[in-house]
Amino acid sequence: MGVYRTPDARFDNLVGYPFAPIYFEPVGDLDGLRMHYLDEGEGKPILLLHGEPTWSFLYRKMIPPLAQTNRVIAPDYVGFGRSDKPTDISWYTYDRHVDSIVQLLEHLDLRDATLVVQDWGGPIGLRVAVEHPERFANLVILNTGVMRPGPSWPSPAFLQWRDFAEKNPDLPVGFIIQASTVTDLPPEVIAGYEAPWPTAESKAGVASFPLLVPLSEDDPGAREMVATGDALTGWGTPVLVAFSDSDPIFPQSAGERMAGRIPGARFHPISGASHFLQEDKGEEIAQVIADFLG
């Protein structure tokens, strides 16, 4: 299997991202790969899971304020950020991404953690949470869903995105991020998002994610996503659902419905933000999370 390792120089002097890299090596199907994560601050852990086509750079505005009172862990999935990148698109599966996060939890022995998920962080992280509830004290759900096939999913907006990704495996990451934010991003921020993927072969993981979303009940991952959604309806710890007001894929109404299905979940709208609300309103969201945690 071919593996691309992004040169360290690509991550030098990234705007707003001064964090020291840490690596560990998962085992099993992930044996031989290096996975990157950030580990900042002290206190009860907060685990930040990114989506597609982003990496831990997405959380750079949120990490410093959250790390003032908590230990903040932000990994890069295999194929993303500073983690190793298998170059065969067929290598990437939903189960492997879930397994990598479970192994990170065990490697760090995280307990009493707050899980923060967005985009693909939702299907990955929420499945991890319901399968390992003993490790989590709180859930924070931002602009995501478990993407279970049904009458309301997949949405027309998602199908358009999937079609674009399938036809353009060398995805224009910076263009996608800019199109998914309200903020007019300066060139140095766009460069930060693009830093992990300087070649087409390095983008296999990025290209794979839209194709991993199950479109029918028979597709791989569909059963697990349905089970995750069902388990959340009986979730017993505090949940904050915060969706932005300008996301065409996960509209605010979807967040309100999600909060209504999870016992005791609190809904908080985020104004003036699009799909990547961490980029548009990162500092505000960090404060909302801090208030939620008390």
275 is catalytic: yes
Q: How far apart are CA 193 and CA 285, in angstroms?
A: 20
DSSP line for 144-213: ------BTTBS-HHHHHHHHHHHH-SS--HHHHHHHT-SS---HHHHHHHHTT--SSGGGHHHHHHHHHS
Catalytic option among 76, 84, 99, 247: 247
Q: How far apart are CA 171 and CA 250, in angstroms?
A: 21
84 is catalytic: no
Catalytic option among 97, 275, 280, 291: 275
CB contact at 8 A, 124 and 98: yes
Angle of helix 222-232 versus helix 121-131 axis, rounded to 10? 60
Catalytic option among 76, 99, 119, 280: 119
Residue the block writes with tokens 């962080």: 121
119 is catalytic: yes
Annotated catalytic residues are 119, 247, 275
